[in-house]
Every structure is written in C-alpha cells, then in structure tokens.
C-alpha cells in the first residue's frame, strides 16, 4: 500500500499524461457533467446563463454578426453559445467530442428550429473546407491543451478563418494561477456518484508547476474491479505569452479583455480574453 500511495502522490512531468477527455466522453461521467450544467437549483447555473446572454450580446455587437456571418464554436459543449449565436442570425458550426453534450445540443437546436451544424469530433482532428468569419474557443478550453496541441489548434484556426477573420479565446490568468494551492483530498463515493455508479474511493491531488505556470488536478479513482487516473491539466497565461504564441502562428493580436463581455483588462482578473485576426 505504501508504494501505491507514493505513486498516487507523485508529480508527473507537465502534460506527461493526457486523460481529460474522459470527463467528457465517458458515458457516466459526461452525463453527470451535463446534469450539473443543467441544474436550475444551482446559483452558479443562473449566473452562467445571465453571463452567457451578456457575452453573446457583446460578441454579436463587437464582431458585427448577422445572417451573412459564418461562426465556428470549438468545444461547443451543450450549445450554450452556439444556440444563442444562431438565434441572433449567425450561421453556426459547433464541434465537440462529447456524444452526450452534442446529442443534447442537437435536440435543443431541433426544438428551436435552428439549423446549426453540429460535428461530434475531437477538434484537434477536425477538418473542413468551410471558412469562417469568427472562430471561438471558450470556457478556457485552450488551457487544457499542451503546447503542441495549442500549436495544432492555432494552425487550424488560421486555415479555417477567412482573410480578416477573427479568433476569440479565453484563458486563465497568472493571477488565477497564484491563487491555486497544492492540496490532497480524499472522498468515499460522492453523494451523486460523479465518477462511477459503483462504490469507489477518490484521491485528488492538486500539483502546481511554478516554472511552467501549469496546474494538474489528478484524480485516482479506486473501485473494486478497477483503478483509474484522470489527469486534468490547466495552463495559465500572461498577455505577453499569449501575444507571442498567437503571433508565432500568424495572428495579429487585436486586444485583450478581462472576460467575454468586453470588460476592460485588470490586474485582478482571473481570466484573459484575447481577440486575434488573420
């Protein structure tokens, strides 16, 4: 048992293992994720809905979206942004690898009579002949990608954009990184059975990598017949790092904001929003 505990508490190299997709593609866990996103009883859900409404209004106004504008929403999830952007008249494509979330998004589009093109695919592998006026990658998805994956995405985005097209991405800031702390926690099956319908024990480790500005949420889930490890990496950014990374992939940085409603940048902000143009 001592050796197993030593392994559980060991630090892997940054982005050494990648299993974050399990959160979204495992049938049980993805359903639990969707349930939490849809739970009307949670105050955070209400706040998120109001924020997304304000965010979409800002996006539509800032990028002058209308029925002639093509928008691609990468990591679209349950369609929170894609649905609202389509309701505003944009021609929307949504890409996500979670069957649970895409199925929900497609059903919502059908109910609302919206012709959204949803694609169930890992967006790192997505290819299309379509060209877009605006590409979005929101809810800090960019932070979950390692450096080589981010380069792949930025190269794809540059290809998929029309000349003069815009890219909108939000990330966690270094201020958010500084507020994270290394911890170890233990639980015996959550009340809602988030990780499994079976009885399980979950040990969570939060590791910080100060030089790389990376945080790892490592979950070791122990059931009677199997043990799983989930590695959820998050990269944190400064404006300078973002500017350098986007410029190296051909983008011209138009500006930074503190959130996706166009709030002016602030040293206290936990997020950075970057707008870049092809």
Q: pLDDT tens digit string along 96-134?
A: 999 999 999 999 999 999 999 999 999 999 999 999 999
Distance CA(130)–CA(50), nearest Å, equals 31
Look at residue 179 and tell me if it is in a domain. no
- What does pLDDT average to over the chain? 90
Residue 192 covered by a domain: no
Number of domains making up the chain: 1
User: pLDDT category, 1, cuts 50, 70, 90?
Assistant: confident
52 found inside a domain: yes
Average pLDDT over residues 14-27: 77
CATH number at residue 69: 3.40.50.150
Beta strands in the chain (DSSP E): 70-74, 91-96, 117-120, 132-137, 161-173, 183-188, 200-209, 214-223, 227-237, 252-257, 271-277
Per 3-state DSSP, what percentage of the chain is helix, strand, and coil (rounded to 5)? Answer: 35, 30, 35
Is 21 part of any domain?
no
Measured distance CA(93)–CA(73) in Å, rounded: 6
- Which residues, at least 6 apart from 173, have a Cβ–Cβ distance to it below 8 Å? 236, 237, 238, 269, 270, 271, 272
145 domain residue, yes or no: yes
End-to-end CA distance of the chain: 54
| Residue 213 lies inside a defined structural domain of this protein | no
Helix axes 239-247, 147-160, angle to 10 degrees: 60
What local confidence, expressed as pLDDT, does residue 81 receive?
Answer: 95
Rounded to an integer, what distance in angstroms lies between the CA atom of residue 261 and that of residue 68?
A: 23
pLDDT in tens, 231-259: 999 999 999 999 999 999 999 999 999 99
pLDDT digits (tens, 9 = 90+) for 33-89: 777 666 644 444 444 778 889 999 999 999 999 888 999 999 999 999 999 999 999
Strand partners, 276: 167, 253
Give the angle 147-85-249 at the CA atoms, nearest 5°.
Answer: 25
Residue 154 lies in a domain: yes
Backbone angles phi, psi at 178, to 5 degrees: -65, -20
Whether the pLDDT of residue 5 is over 80: the answer is no
Domain range enclosing 71: 28-173+237-277
Residue 146 inside a domain? The answer is yes
Distance CA 13, CA 145 (A): 14
């Amino acid at each position: 048992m001592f050796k197993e505990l030593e392994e559980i508490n060991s630090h892997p190299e940054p982005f050494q293992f990648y299993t974050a997709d399990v959160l979204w593609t495992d049938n049980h866990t993805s359903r639990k994720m969707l349930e939490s996103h849809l739970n009307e009883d949670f105050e955070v859900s209400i706040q998120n809905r109001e924020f997304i409404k304000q965010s979409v209004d800002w996006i539509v106004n800032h990028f002058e979206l209308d029925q002639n504008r093509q928008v691609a929403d990468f990591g679209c999830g349950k369609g929170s942004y894609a649905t609202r952007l389509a309701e505003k008249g944009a021609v929307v494509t949504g890409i996500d690898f979670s069957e649970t979330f895409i199925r929900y998004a497609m059903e919502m589009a059908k109910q609302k009579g919206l012709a959204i093109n949803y694609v169930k695919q890992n967006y790192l592998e997505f290819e299309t002949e379509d060209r877009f006026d605006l590409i979005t990658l929101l809810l800090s998805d960019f932070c979950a990608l390692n450096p080589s994956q981010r380069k792949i995405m930025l190269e794809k985005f540059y290809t998929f954009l029309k000349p003069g097209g815009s890219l909108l991405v939000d990330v966690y800031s270094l201020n958010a990184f500084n507020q994270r702390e290394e911890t170890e926690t233990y639980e015996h099956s959550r009340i809602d059975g988030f990780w499994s319908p079976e009885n399980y024990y979950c040990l969570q480790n939060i590791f910080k990598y100060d030089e790389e500005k990376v945080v790892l949420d490592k979950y070791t889930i122990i059931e009677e017949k199997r043990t799983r490890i989930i590695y959820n990496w998050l990269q944190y950014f400064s404006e300078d790092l973002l500017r350098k990374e986007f410029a190296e992939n051909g983008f011209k940085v138009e500006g930074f904001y503190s959130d996706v409603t166009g709030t002016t940048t602030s040293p206290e902000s936990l997020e950075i929003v970057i707008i870049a143009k092809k």
